[in-house]
Structure 1
Amino acid sequence: MKIFSKEQIYAGDKLTAERQNITSTELMERAGTQIFNWMHMRMQGAQVPVHVFCGIGNNGGDGLVLARHLVTHGYNVHTYVVNYSDKRSKDFLVNYDRIKNVTKKWPTLLKCAEDFPEMHPDDIIVDAVFGIGLNRPVDDWVKQLFQHFRASKAFTLSIDIPSGLYPDKALEDTDAAVYAGFTLSFASPKLVFFLPETAKYTVQWEILDIGLDPEYLYTTETEAQLIGKHEVLPNYIPRDKFSHKGQFGHALIIGGSYGKIGAVTLAGRAALSAGAGLITTYIPKCGYVPIQSSFPEAMVITDTDNDKITSINFDIEPTVIGFGVGAGTDAKTISAFEAFLKTNKSRLVIDADGLNMLAKKKTLLKLLPELTVLTPHPKELERLVGAWTDDFDKLAKVKAFAKKHKVIVVIKGANTITVFNDKLFVNTTGNPGLATAGSGDVLTGIITGLLAQGYHPSVAAIFGVYLHGKSADIAVEDFGYQSLIAGHVIDYLGEAFIDLFKQPEQPPQQDQEEHREEKQ
């Protein structure tokens, strides 16, 4: 699913009006009607007080259309105009006149905190104050209004984006935005729904189709894309009946140190479970018995040192190498890594201490082959690209870093974002159960295993992140967040693959008939 920028949404609105020969007012009517339909289907005439707060721009105009339909359908609706400026948009004024024609209870003008209405936890608030066009901090009294929403504990529904948020930059004041229980977003979700600092402003979101020009939506390239099953499925490479292990690549996992051999075991098992044909681990001598006994499918090569990697020498020809899990950052290990990079011809996935080595000795970045996949958690990322001021600054720094070094960066988090060629691929799978030791090692292994099979590095990273999260989503149903461990993610990886081909469950026949009757 594409994530359109505000400029692209505005262009889509304009083009839609031209191609469909409608006015912007008619497009606003369509948007407001869709919001009403969404609410009406769920409320079914319930007389819960609905408080619709409208700004004086086009987002407020959408709110006025909604309020008018609520009035004409007999709902208990209270409409307010948040008068933060003397300017009004043309379409807002049209719909202000229209709502006055259907009710004697005209919208209440709010100009300061003394005008705020009383609201209760069982009420519903509709936030149509600001849309995606907001470009400056809100006034203090408007900020107080947003805090009044939250203090009421009423369910809050935001239109397009929680008011106070910018779609393309960070907030100056984290208290100056609406906390929405649900957001109905036009055309596409907004990038801020998925960033650590701003995701908290909407608990859930849904896309409303307001009939924007389909050709425009289909052909327009976006900087960001939301990744789900439908996005990764076309990249899946099926297996032929007569295929053999030699066709699926040889993955080499290099890492481990005294007390951290488990990281290599997890990464190796994950690579094999992701489909690699062969797995070899390269570890210090202390890990030989543990890996041979706990991971019989793996072949093992050992360093001459017992406790750490001090040289990297092997006589195999791996398809891909995963480096760094559990390796430590001893000076001898860094020297071995540098010597290895100078002669390496294989594709690379680098994680954990491999990333810390790159951060300690930045000259090593010049030795990375193109399209190396880096998988940092936040602290490892900061060591690589430097501190950032906010999430948008972080994305800008990562894009610049990835472009400079011609690498792919997987920014791990609740919505892991893969950065490749100035584009952002935002993952939708995963849950808090992944906040556990070893889950990053498993991700490294999955991406390495996909690369071994011939997936393009960008596809391996995006697909690997999706599978990693999906496996955790399936496993968490059996284990819960607290008891999910990294090994479970490997154990459920097969089910994540199978899920790619499952069709959505159909509702019972009776429910389908009722749904058809509603549509009629």
Structure 2
Amino acid sequence: MKLYSAKQIYKADQISIKKEEIGSNELMERAALQLFNWMHLRMQGAPVKIHLFCGIGNNGGDGIALARHLVDHGYNIEVYVINYSEKRSKDFLINLDRLKDRKVWPNFMNCDDSLPEIGKEDIIVDGIFGIGLNRTPDDWVAKVIQHLNDSQAFILSIDIPSGLFTDEGPKDVNSIIRSNFVLSFQTPKLVFFLPETGPFIEQWEVLDIGLDPEYLKETETDYELIGKNEVLTLYKPREKYGHKGTYGHSLIVGGSYGKMGSVCLSSKAALQAGSGLVTSYIPKIGYVILQASLPEVMVLTDVDENELSNINFDIKPNVVGIGVGMGTTKTTTTALANFLKVIKLPLVIDADALNILSENKDLLKSIPEDSVLTPHPKELERLIGKWKDDFDKLNKVKKFSKKYKCIVVIKGAHTIIVHNEKGYVNTTGNPGMATAGSGDVLTGVITGLRAQGYAALDAAIFGVYLHGRAGDIAVESTGFQSLTASHVIDNLANAYLDMFKLPEQPVVEEENK
């Protein structure tokens, strides 16, 4: 699913209006009707008080038009217009007149007005600001927003939580609505999925308001949302006459004294992801551990007992996953530097290998093209430097990806895969996966997919999705607190099977005749 910018959505509005030969107020009416239908289906005329807080732009016009439909169906409403400017959008004024025709008079709130009383059991509809907001709200408007947040009432936002910018980070978190639910027109917004802005949205749903499908299809976006439908197009089915050599050979390089578990996790994950063969390259100290715990995995050892000192092998893997548990000693740093000078194979680079690169940035130019880097936030900061907000971070990662011709997997609640100028936002995963070894598993999954012939970007996108989906399936039986990295590995098979599972259809019983 494409994630459109505010400018692209505005353009889609204009093209739709022109092609359909309708007025902009008719498009607003279409949006308001979708909002009403969504609410009415769930509320069915429930006797609850609905407070609609509307701005004086088009987002406020959506709220005013919604109020009219609610009144027509007997709902108990109170409408407030946040009078933050003398300017009014044309369609806001049209819908304001329509509401007044029904003898409903909004409360126009100004900076000196007292704040309305809102009960905990009431519902707030937030239509103060939309996607066009380009500055921090005035202090008195921020106080209104804080009052709504403090009310403990259920808050439903129209299109985007008021006070949240669409294409840049927040400047004042106290002037942003904290929405229980957002009804987003045509597409979700990128800010729904970023660490700084995502916490303002508990749940969201897209309402199709009929924007021009041709424009939406042909328009390229900087970001895409990745779900089951998107990864199904990437999946490579197995051949009937294939053998273990057909599905590639993964080499997992890592480990040091006391940190062999990470190599075990990555190696097992590469197997579970479908790699035909897996070899672990480790210090001698881990030989018995690997042989005893993973009988399917072959083992090569470094000349050093406790750390990697000379990454040298005589096998021909298809891909190398490197960094898990390897440490950052001077000896290992030298070993990695020497390895990068000669290696031509695709790499999946994680953990301590990333930390070594961040301390020795001249080594970055030695990374083979189309390598996949999988940093967590702190590792990413060491690589690209500090950022002022999530949008700045994404721009820095895009430049990094382009400069070093690599794919960067920004791990988080919604992991984002960046390649050149484009980002892919993952939808799977859960808080239980914030646990030791989870990243090692992801490294193994991506390495295993790469071994099977998946292109680097496809392996990263598909691998992140599978990893998160395995965690989602596992957490159903473990709960968040007890989920471990091993549980994720054990459910990779279920994640594959889930891709082809049809949605359950509701059972409809025939009426007795």
Normalised to the residue count of structure 1, the TM-score between the two structures is: 0.97
Instruction: Name the structure 2 match of 1:424.
Output: 423
Whether the aligned pair in 1 keeps the contact of 2:275 and 2:449 (CA below 8 Å) is yes
1:166-245 counterparts in 2 under 5 A? 166-245=165-244
Instruction: Name the structure 2 match of 1:327.
Output: 326
Instruction: Name the structure 2 match of 1:263.
Output: 262
Per-residue deviation, 1:216 = 1.2
Per-residue deviation, 1:113 = 5.3
Instruction: Name the structure 1 match of 2:295.
Output: 296
Instruction: Name the structure 1 match of 2:157.
Output: 158
Q: Percent identity?
A: 62
Distance 1:43 1:273 in 2: 45
Instruction: Name the structure 1 match of 2:24.
Output: 24
Instruction: Name the structure 2 match of 1:282.
Output: 281
Instruction: Name the structure 1 match of 2:74.
Output: 74
Deviations 1:228-275 (A, max 9, x none): 000100110001111100000110001000011111110000001100
1:370-519 counterparts in 2 under 5 A? 370-510=369-509
Distance 2:244 2:392 in 1: 44
Distance 2:150 2:246 in 1: 61
Per-residue deviation, 1:152 = 1.1
1:309-388 counterparts in 2 under 5 A? 309-388=308-387
Whether the aligned pair in 2 keeps the contact of 1:418 and 1:461 (CA below 8 Å) is yes
Q: Which ranges in structure 2 are unaligned for 5 or more consecutive residues?
A: none
Instruction: Name the structure 2 match of 1:86.
Output: 86
Per-residue deviation, 1:112 = 2.4
Whether the aligned pair in 2 keeps the contact of 1:52 and 1:67 (CA below 8 Å) is yes
Whether the aligned pair in 2 keeps the contact of 1:113 and 1:144 (CA below 8 Å) is no
Distance 2:253 2:162 in 1: 49
Instruction: Name the structure 1 match of 2:307.
Output: 308
Whether the aligned pair in 2 keeps the contact of 1:323 and 1:349 (CA below 8 Å) is yes
Distance 1:405 1:299 in 2: 32
Whether the aligned pair in 2 keeps the contact of 1:113 and 1:145 (CA below 8 Å) is no
Task: Please state if 1:144 is matched with 2:143.
Answer: yes
Deviations 1:455-495 (A, max 9, x none): 00000001000000000000011111111110111111000
Query: Which amino acid is 1:467 matched to?
Result: L
Distance 1:298 1:142 in 2: 62
Distance 1:266 1:229 in 2: 25
Instruction: Name the structure 1 match of 2:101.
Output: 101
Whether the aligned pair in 1 keeps the contact of 2:283 and 2:307 (CA below 8 Å) is yes
Residue 38 of structure 1: SS of its match in structure 2? helix
Deviations 1:120-160 (A, max 9, x none): 00000000000000001101111011111111111000000
What CA RMSD, in Å, does the superposition of the two structures yield over aligned residues? Answer: 1.0
Instruction: Name the structure 2 match of 1:7.
Output: 7
Distance 2:234 2:180 in 1: 34
Instruction: Name the structure 2 match of 1:51.
Output: 51
Distance 1:174 1:200 in 2: 11
Distance 1:53 1:256 in 2: 57
Whether the aligned pair in 2 keeps the contact of 1:127 and 1:156 (CA below 8 Å) is yes
Residue 235 of structure 1: SS of its match in structure 2? coil
Distance 2:329 2:153 in 1: 55
Per-residue deviation, 1:114 = 2.7
Per-residue deviation, 1:115 = 3.5
Residue 124 of structure 2: SS of its match in structure 1? strand
Whether the aligned pair in 1 keeps the contact of 2:399 and 2:420 (CA below 8 Å) is no
Per-residue deviation, 1:402 = 0.8
Question: Stretches of 4+ moved more than 2 A in 1?
Answer: 112-116
Whether the aligned pair in 1 keeps the contact of 2:31 and 2:62 (CA below 8 Å) is yes
Distance 2:300 2:445 in 1: 21
Query: Which amino acid is 1:354 matched to?
Result: A
Per-residue deviation, 1:508 = 1.1
Distance 1:509 1:242 in 2: 43
Distance 1:501 1:411 in 2: 27
Tell me whether 215-224 or 161-170 shows the greater mean CA deviation.
215-224
Distance 1:423 1:298 in 2: 36
Query: Which amino acid is 2:59 matched to?
Result: N
Whether the aligned pair in 1 keeps the contact of 2:270 and 2:278 (CA below 8 Å) is yes
Per-residue deviation, 1:220 = 1.1
Distance 2:110 2:47 in 1: 28
Residue 445 of structure 1: SS of its match in structure 2? helix
Query: Which amino acid is 1:466 matched to?
Result: Y
Query: Which amino acid is 1:385 matched to?
Result: I
Instruction: Name the structure 2 match of 1:518.
Output: none
Query: Which amino acid is 1:367 matched to?
Result: S
Query: Which amino acid is 1:93 matched to?
Result: L
Normalised to the residue count of structure 2, the TM-score between the two structures is: 0.99
Whether the aligned pair in 1 keeps the contact of 2:250 and 2:319 (CA below 8 Å) is yes
Per-residue deviation, 1:276 = 0.4
Distance 1:280 1:34 in 2: 55
Distance 1:387 1:66 in 2: 43
Q: Identify if the C-alpha distance between structure 1 residues 286 and 113 changes in structure 2 by more than 3 Å, giving closer, same or farther.
A: farther
Whether the aligned pair in 2 keeps the contact of 1:177 and 1:201 (CA below 8 Å) is yes
Query: Which amino acid is 2:193 matched to?
Result: F
Residue 114 of structure 1: SS of its match in structure 2? coil
Deviations 1:61-114 (A, max 9, x none): 000110001111111011111100000011111111111111x23111000253
**What is the count of residue pairs matched by the alignment?**
511
Residue 355 of structure 1: SS of its match in structure 2? helix
Whether the aligned pair in 2 keeps the contact of 1:274 and 1:493 (CA below 8 Å) is yes
Instruction: Name the structure 1 match of 2:272.
Output: 273
Per-residue deviation, 1:500 = 0.4
Task: Please state if 1:37 is matched with 2:37.
Answer: yes
Distance 1:415 1:299 in 2: 34
Distance 1:210 1:414 in 2: 29
Instruction: Name the structure 2 match of 1:516.
Output: none
Distance 2:14 2:288 in 1: 67
Per-residue deviation, 1:371 = 0.9
Whether the aligned pair in 1 keeps the contact of 2:371 and 2:456 (CA below 8 Å) is yes
Query: Which amino acid is 1:233 matched to?
Result: L
Query: Which amino acid is 2:47 matched to?
Result: Q
Distance 2:23 2:54 in 1: 21
Distance 1:7 1:462 in 2: 27
Distance 2:113 2:85 in 1: 17
Per-residue deviation, 1:13 = 0.3
Distance 1:393 1:219 in 2: 27
Instruction: Name the structure 2 match of 1:517.
Output: none
Residue 145 of structure 1: SS of its match in structure 2? helix
